[in-house]
Amino acid sequence: MSVWLYFPFGNFKEDDVLKDDVKDFRDAGVKFHRTGNKPSCLERVGDGDLLMIGGHGDEDDFSISMTAPKGERSLTANDSAQKLKKYGLKRTHQSILLLTCFGGGSTKKHTHAPRIVGVAKSELVSVHKKAAGKCLASVLAKVLGKEG
């Protein structure tokens, strides 16, 4: 299995946050390949590979975005599915991880939990809002499912 990092915006380095993601992930020890952002860039992603998609998200929003000097650019879940298909992601691929805020809903830390730097233990975090059908990940999965 390989891990791939994909930014759906060709100029993601213009975004003050996203521009540091590649270095930050590598510094954290995450081993991955970058896909680029041109037609056919997703053809090498295998069925058993993990595709990480980076961008910004917002609560109750079904889009992924980036902020550039000329303003925000965004793709809806439908637009994202079409772009994944157009750029060569196989219909048989099934493992996508959205690296966006609120991509899978929202959580909150238990009030009695100690302050934690880095990754929080799962027992200290609870679902704040049920996200099924109400977040980018869920909507994107449905759109991709309808696409076959």
pLDDT tens-digit profile of 3-28?
999 999 988 999 999 999 999 999 99
Q: Is 102 left (phi over 0), alpha (psi -120 to 50) or beta?
A: left
Q: Of 50-59, 63-72, 104-113, which range is least confident?
A: 104-113
Q: What is the mean pLDDT of residues 42-52?
A: 95
pLDDT at 95: 93
Residues 94-144: tens digit of each pLDDT: 899 999 988 877 655 555 555 545 555 555 555 555 555 678 888 898 898
pLDDT at residue 8, as a whole number: 94
Entry pTM:
0.81
Choice between 35 and 128, residue whose per-residue pLDDT is larger = 35
Instruction: Give the phi and the psi of residue 140 in degrees, each rounded to 5.
Output: -60, -40
DSSP 35-73: --SSTTTTTT--TTSEEEEE-B--TT--EEEEEETTEEE
Q: What pLDDT is attached to residue 80?
A: 95
pLDDT of the residue at 101: 87
